[in-house]
Amino acid sequence: MGAELLGREPGERASLVQFSSAFCQPCRATRRILAEVAEMVDGVEHIEIDAEKNLELVRALGIEKTPTVLVLDAAGRIVRRAAGMPRKADVIAALGAAV
């Protein structure tokens, strides 16, 4: 997945892609967690995608609920996927598979 699908440039080493919806309470907490992890690790970007405005992409990726987080490696390949609010430690561990 590159910039054309993500809406902005992915991270040099990895990207944390979050699919969210406007009224999703866990999405707000997930946003904070992913932003904190992205700040801690050089070359990692947090990219949030509005699921409601990107239904074609949501369907293509089989996203069924928000939040859903995809961990992409430097080449844009999905190396981890999780639905629901993640724990910070789990996000850091998942990044290990991408960098």
State the pairing for strand pair 68-73/14-20. antiparallel
Give the DSSP letter of residue 11. P
Q: What is the C-alpha separation between 32 and 82, in angstroms, rounded?
A: 16
Model confidence band, residue 97 (pLDDT cutoffs 50, 70, 90): confident
Query: In the prediction, which pLDDT does 7 show?
Result: 86
| Amino acid present at 20 | S
pLDDT digits (tens, 9 = 90+) for 38-70: 999 999 999 999 999 999 999 999 999 999 999
